[in-house]
């Protein structure tokens, strides 16, 4: 029993975005961003029950519509007048641990071996056809899986070319992804592929929170009775969805509103043309939802508010969002351009010119599932969460030039944040963990992975067709053919060999930053923070998990527990405090404890420790001890734990003690000077940050 859609408290923008996609799936799906426990999954699952039932060709695994079956259906061709069945629209959930085989389908290995037939086993994309595909924690999926499902959502078809199978089938579905930004961000390129985005947050209003709990308890006590109490409201929304779908094809988008859309997108300086197309489709869906026959300014504003926030995020450390002021200014700028030329005449199309494409049409294709809640009014208050996030995004990266060191700064002064940087992919040296791991797929160190190049075979039985090492299997079976006397090449289970593949993994990159007075006194902390920012950007590209330990005064602290959210590390770096003595040994011991805890939590993910220090140690771990000797002993413990360490020597000036090199030697790690991280980029980072 699902929680009723109409019983969801608040989240007007979320319900509106879901229903606009239900009216017109060509909008491109919804990405729901928000903190844990905000009913993201509840709202998505509730939507599926509102979608109209679908008629399908009986026993078709791909859900073909009897009125217009897919001519390329692998289960076809379907003759006219065949058996038909009616079923509810499906809600298909893609688990975080799903493989490519499970998503797109693959060769049925059992039938291929037992019956000698090349049978295709459909995946989740086929199952979701004409329904809803829900991806919880989409930011935790591997990038190539996200690419596959977004491509299918955009094209309406899934193409499978693998394991000797060549299949193409229809895959039109309403795509919904949810994510918690604290667990890592999607790349801007993938964010752009989602049509709309919504920020959700728990209400701070006491009455609203109390009502959420009241309805939740009532549903738990009597799910059927609670659903029945809200049944009329849900049926009204479902009827409105059906009406909007029928009306969508007749909704017109005038040249004036089309120019308004283009003006808004130009005013906020979004990249590419996808935003314009999404806004046009979403505005048409909103007009159909209102019961109108023509797109108006209010429809454009609602669509822009939902389609633009994530497309303004260009840098990995930019937060998505657009506030009311920015949107109002963009709408005003677009309106002024319209007033200058109230009836623009489109240029006549030419065979090869820019006007040769099809004319603008907001309806953009066949109608689809969806609607919007009765209380979700155009321009309503549901945008508060995303607008608040957008206002924060406008401040991201603003900083002051580097300040004087500890001689002038009081103990505990904040680190001057480096200016926003846009580094090339080759900006920073790539540090790797030696050996071959088995961790989460990424782009840093060598690892045995399910994808990648085949490096050898093994006697382990393959679990899927893609794992079969065919040459090794045939080689293993060949010597036994005469004794088996089958009259054909006989392959038995004992002959099967699996392929071992090698690719790249993401690591845990733990930054240990010396924030003591010895660093700040030489005006180096702003340069160090700039270098860490460059390394963080590299970690973002490599799909690493990151953490941050700082030490100053008499102790060390975990400024950021290991997380997949690299932007969170950048935010903590901007608020790092400096000054005081240098407890280097305590910083290394604290980092060791963090790594030990992470090793127990995720034993397959290997660690890379990056220590940024000048090597000076002034605080011993025990009274009367030698601070430098204690630091070297702590570094030796890291070496004993087989932690790969990179020491970035931040010492400068004509007289250098080389203490950072001593620490690196005891840790058995690499020693890199601050200005050697990248001859091309980090040197520029340091000069601009100072």
More confident residue, 569 or 369: 569
Closest CA to 618 of 679, 529, 553: 553
Angle at 129 between CA 125 and CA 130, to 5 degrees: 155
In the predicted model, is pLDDT for residue 42 greater than 80?
A: yes
CB distance 73 to 64 below 8 Å: yes
Distance CA 294, CA 65 (A): 29
Q: What is the mean pLDDT of residues 593-620?
A: 91
In the predicted model, is pLDDT for residue 653 greater than 80?
A: no
Secondary element (H or E) of residue 179: strand 174-179
CB distance 448 to 501 below 8 Å: yes
Q: Which residues is 445 bridged to in the sheet? A: 505
DSSP secondary-structure letter at 186? Answer: P
Burial (Cβ within 10 Å: 0-12, 13-18, ≥19) of residue 175: buried
Q: What is the mean pLDDT of residues 271-278?
A: 89
Q: Count of alpha carbons within 13 Å of 45, Cβ hemisphere only?
A: 11
Pairing of strands 84-87, 54-57: antiparallel
Q: Give the lowest-confidence range in 115-124, 286-295, 298-307, 418-427.
A: 418-427
CB proximity list for 527: less than 8 A, separation 6 or greater: 402, 650, 674, 685, 686, 689, 690
Residue 315 has a pLDDT of 60
pLDDT tens digits for 426-473?
A: 456 778 888 888 888 888 888 888 777 888 888 888 877 778 888 888
Q: How large a percentage of the chain has pLDDT more than 90?
A: 30
Residue 201 has a pLDDT of 87
In the predicted model, is pLDDT for residue 374 greater than 60?
A: no
Please, what is the end-to-end C-alpha distance for the chain in angstroms?
60
SS in 3 state form for 73-110? CCCCCCCCCCCEEEECCCEEEECCCCCHHHHHEEECHH
What is the DSSP secondary-structure string of 363-390?
T-SS--S----TT--TT-GGGHHHHHHH
Average pLDDT, the chain: 79
CB distance 444 to 544 below 8 Å: yes
In the predicted model, is pLDDT for residue 264 greater than 90?
A: yes
Instruction: Grade residue 530 by pLDDT with cuts at 50, 70 and 90.
Output: confident
Residue 141 has a pLDDT of 81
Structural domains of the chain, ranges and CATH numbers in brackets? 5-65+85-347+358-364+371-388 (3.40.50.300), 413-433+507-689 (3.40.50.410), 446-505 (no CATH)
Buried b (16+ CB within 10 A) or exposed e, 136-148: bbbbbbbeebbeb
Q: What is the mean pLDDT of residues 557-580?
A: 81
Closest CA to 400 of 419, 414, 381: 419
Instruction: Grade residue 118 by pLDDT with cuts at 50, 70 and 90.
Output: low
Token pair in block for residue 75:
């289960």
| Axis-axis angle for helices 659-667, 627-640 (nearest 10) | 30
Cis peptide before 77 (omega within 30 of 0): yes
In the predicted model, is pLDDT for residue 414 greater than 50?
A: no
Residue 502: CB atoms within 10 Å: 15
Distance CA 48, CA 374 (A): 17
Residue carrying structure tokens 């006397």: 485
Strand locations in 108-195, DSSP E? Answer: 120-122, 132-135, 157-162, 165-170, 174-179
Number of residues assigned to the chain: 690
Q: Indicate if 392 belongs to the active site.
A: no
Distance CA 669, CA 612 (A): 13
Q: What is the mean pLDDT of residues 583-589?
A: 94
Instruction: Grade residue 311 by pLDDT with cuts at 50, 70 and 90.
Output: confident
Secondary element (H or E) of residue 34: strand 30-34
DSSP secondary-structure letter at 617? Answer: -
SS3 339: helix
What is the DSSP secondary-structure string of 507-567?
-EEEEEEE-SHHHHTTT-HHHHHHHHHHHHHHHHHTT-EEEEEEEETTEEEEEEEEES-HH
Pairing of strands 577-578, 555-563: unpaired
pLDDT tens digits for 84-102?
A: 999 888 899 988 778 888 8
Pairing of strands 498-505, 453-458: antiparallel
Q: What is the mean pLDDT of residues 189-212?
A: 88
CB distance 511 to 521 below 8 Å: no
CB proximity list for 512: less than 8 A, separation 6 or greater: 549, 550, 551, 587, 588, 591, 609, 610, 611, 612, 613
SS3 412: coil
Residue 386 has a pLDDT of 38
CB distance 53 to 86 below 8 Å: yes
pTM beyond 0.85, yes or no: no
Residue 490 has a pLDDT of 84
CB distance 526 to 403 below 8 Å: yes
In the predicted model, is pLDDT for residue 679 greater than 70?
A: no
Residue 316 has a pLDDT of 58
Which of 130, 247, 260, 274 is labelled catalytic? 274
Distance CA 473, CA 450 (A): 19
pLDDT tens digits for 492-522?
A: 888 898 988 888 888 999 999 998 877 655 5
What is the DSSP secondary-structure string of 274-311?
HHHHHHHHHHHHHHHHHT-SB--HHHHHHHHHHHSGGG
Distance CA 76, CA 330 (A): 50
Token pair in block for residue 175:
């795509």
More confident residue, 402 or 189: 189
Q: How large a percentage of the chain has pLDDT more than 70?
A: 80
In the predicted model, is pLDDT for residue 157 greater than 70?
A: yes
Buried b (16+ CB within 10 A) or exposed e, 211-225: ebeebbeebeeeeee
In the predicted model, is pLDDT for residue 220 greater than 80?
A: yes
Token pair in block for residue 264:
């808004």
SS3 208: helix
Distance CA 585, CA 589 (A): 6
In the predicted model, is pLDDT for residue 112 greater than 70?
A: no
Residue 5 has a pLDDT of 92
CB proximity list for 633: less than 8 A, separation 6 or greater: 585, 666
């Amino acid at each position: 029993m699902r929680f009723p859609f109409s019983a969801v408290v608040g989240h007007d923008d979320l319900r509106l975005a879901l229903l606009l996609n239900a009216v017109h799936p060509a909008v491109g799906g919804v990405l729901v961003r928000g903190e844990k426990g905000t009913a993201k999954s509840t709202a998505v699952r509730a939507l599926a029950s509102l979608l109209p039932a679908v008629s399908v060709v009986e026993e078709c695994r791909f859900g073909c519509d009897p009125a217009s079956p897919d001519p390329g259906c692998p289960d076809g061709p379907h003759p006219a007048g065949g058996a038909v069945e009616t079923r509810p629209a499906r809600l298909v959930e893609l688990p975080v641990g799903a493989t490519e085989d499970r998503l797109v389908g693959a060769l049925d290995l059992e039938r291929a071996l037992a019956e000698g037939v090349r049978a295709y086993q459909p995946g989740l994309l086929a199952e979701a056809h004409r329904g809803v595909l829900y991806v919880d924690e989409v930011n935790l999926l591997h990038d190539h899986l996200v690419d596959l499902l977004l491509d299918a959502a955009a094209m309406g078809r899934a193409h499978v070319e693998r394991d000797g199978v060549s299949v193409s089938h229809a895959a039109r579905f309403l795509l919904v992804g949810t994510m918690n930004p604290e667990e890592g961000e999607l790349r801007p390129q993938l964010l752009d592929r989602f049509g709309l985005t919504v920020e959700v947050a728990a209400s701070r209003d006491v009455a609203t929170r109390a009502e959420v709990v009241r309805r939740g308890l009532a549903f738990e006590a009597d799910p059927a009775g609670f659903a029945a109490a809200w049944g009329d409201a849900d049926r009204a929304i479902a009827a409105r969805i059906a009406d909007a779908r029928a009306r969508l094809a007749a909704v017109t988008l005038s040249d004036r509103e089309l120019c308004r859309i283009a003006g808004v997108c130009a005013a906020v300086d979004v990249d590419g043309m996808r935003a314009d197309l999404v806004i046009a489709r979403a505005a048409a869906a909103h007009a159909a939802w209102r019961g109108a026959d023509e797109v108006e300014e209010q429809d454009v504003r609602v669509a822009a508010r939902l389609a633009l926030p994530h497309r303004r995020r260009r840098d990995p450390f930019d937060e998505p969002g657009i506030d009311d002021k920015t949107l109002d200014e963009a709408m005003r700028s677009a309106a002024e351009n319209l007033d200058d030329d109230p009836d623009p005449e489109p240029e006549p199309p030419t065979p090869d010119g820019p006007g040769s494409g099809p004319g603008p049409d907001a309806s953009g294709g066949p109608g689809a599932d969806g609607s919007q809640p009765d209380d979700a009014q155009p321009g309503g208050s549901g945008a508060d969460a995303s607008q608040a996030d957008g206002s924060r995004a406008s401040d991201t990266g603003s900083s002051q030039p580097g300040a004087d060191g500890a001689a002038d700064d009081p103990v505990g002064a904040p680190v001057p944040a480096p200016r926003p940087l846009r580094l090339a992919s080759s900006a920073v040296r790539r540090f790797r963990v030696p050996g071959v791991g088995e961790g989460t797929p990424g782009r840093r160190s060598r690892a045995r992975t399910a994808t990648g190049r085949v490096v050898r075979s093994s006697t382990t039985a393959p679990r899927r067709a893609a794992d079969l090492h065919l040459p090794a299997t045939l080689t293993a079976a060949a010597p036994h053919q005469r004794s088996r006397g089958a009259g054909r090449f006989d392959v038995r289970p004992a002959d099967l060999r699996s392929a071992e593949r090698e690719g790249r993994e993401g690591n845990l990159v733990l930054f240990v930053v010396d924030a003591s007075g010895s660093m700040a006194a030489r005006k180096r902390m702003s340069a160090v923070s700039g270098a860490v920012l460059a390394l963080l950007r590299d970690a973002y590209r490599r799909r690493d998990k990151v953490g941050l330990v700082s030490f100053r005064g008499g102790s060390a602290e975990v400024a950021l527990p290991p997380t997949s959210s690299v932007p969170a590390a950048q935010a903590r770096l901007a608020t790092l405090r400096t000054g005081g003595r240098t407890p280097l040994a305590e910083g290394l011991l604290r980092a060791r404890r963090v790594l030990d805890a992470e090793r127990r939590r995720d034993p397959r993910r290997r660690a890379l420790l990056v220590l940024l220090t000048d090597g000076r140690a002034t605080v011993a771990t025990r009274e009367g001890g030698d601070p430098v000797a204690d630091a070297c002993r702590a570094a030796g413990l890291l070496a004993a734990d087989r932690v790969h360490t990179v020491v970035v020597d931040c010492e400068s000036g004509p007289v250098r003690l080389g203490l950072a090199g001593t620490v690196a030697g005891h840790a058995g790690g690499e020693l890199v000077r601050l200005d050697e991280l990248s001859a091309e980029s980090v040197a520029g980072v340091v000069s601009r940050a100072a």
